[in-house]
Structure 1
Amino acid sequence: MVRLPLTPTEIERGQRLGSLLRRARGERSMLDIALAAHVSPETLRKIETGRVATPAFPTIAAIADVLGLSLDAVWAEISGPERALSPAGSGHHAPERLAS
């Protein structure tokens, strides 16, 4: 499978996601959160550092659940500035890649 290069928007979104997850995790260990979410600590580390900018939806859903975050809150946080660039009510949105 050939992976398309990430867009700057996807990279920025991945960095915002990582930052959100680190803040939500707080003092809890990465290992504890990863095990509770049934993902590897390495996967969580890569997401938190932005190295995996487009993680799979079930992965994010599981981590968000363990951290007590709603998916709506996660989406609102990570989709931030580029949403403001889209004209309101235009009905025209660029397709979004949420998972690889």
Structure 2
Amino acid sequence: MVRLPLTPAEVERGQRLGALLRQARGERSMLVTALDAGVSPETLRKIESGRVATPAFPTIAAIADVLGLSLDAVWAEINQADGAAGPARSGRHARERLAS
């Protein structure tokens, strides 16, 4: 599968996601958070730094669960600046981006 380049909006959403997760983690250790979520600390570090702008949905769901964040709140936060709505972004292309 050929991975398409990310759009500027996707990069920005990835940065907002990282900032949200960092803020929600607070003083909690990155290592403990990652292990509790079942992801590697390196994966969490890359997501928090915005280096992985489109992490897989199960990864986001697991981290959000550990941090006590609802997926609705995560979705609203990362899409606030570009005005994207859930149904408008739920097509095949959006699912491919989340799964990559």
Band of TM-score, shorter chain = 0.7 to 0.9
Per the TM alignment, residue 98 of structure 1 is displaced from its structure 2 partner at its CA by 2.8
How many positions carry a matched residue from both structures? Answer: 94
Deviations 1:42-88 (A, max 9, x none): 0000000000000000000000000000000000000112116x8xx
For the aligned residues, what is the CA RMSD? 1.7
Distance 2:8 2:80 in 1: 14
Matches within 5 A, 1:1-100: 1-83=1-83, 93=88, 95=91, 96=94, 97-100=97-100
Structure 1 runs, 4 residues or longer, greater than 6 Å off? none
Percent same amino acid at aligned positions?
Answer: 79
Distance 1:3 1:17 in 2: 20
Q: Normalization by structure 2: what TM-score?
A: 0.87
Distance 1:13 1:99 in 2: 15
Q: Normalization by structure 1: what TM-score?
A: 0.87
Higher helix content, 1 or 2? 2
Deviations 1:1-35 (A, max 9, x none): 22100000000000000000000000000000000
Where structure 1 has 5 or more consecutive residues not aligned to the other structure, the ranges are: none
Rg larger for: 1
Where structure 2 has 5 or more consecutive residues not aligned to the other structure, the ranges are: none
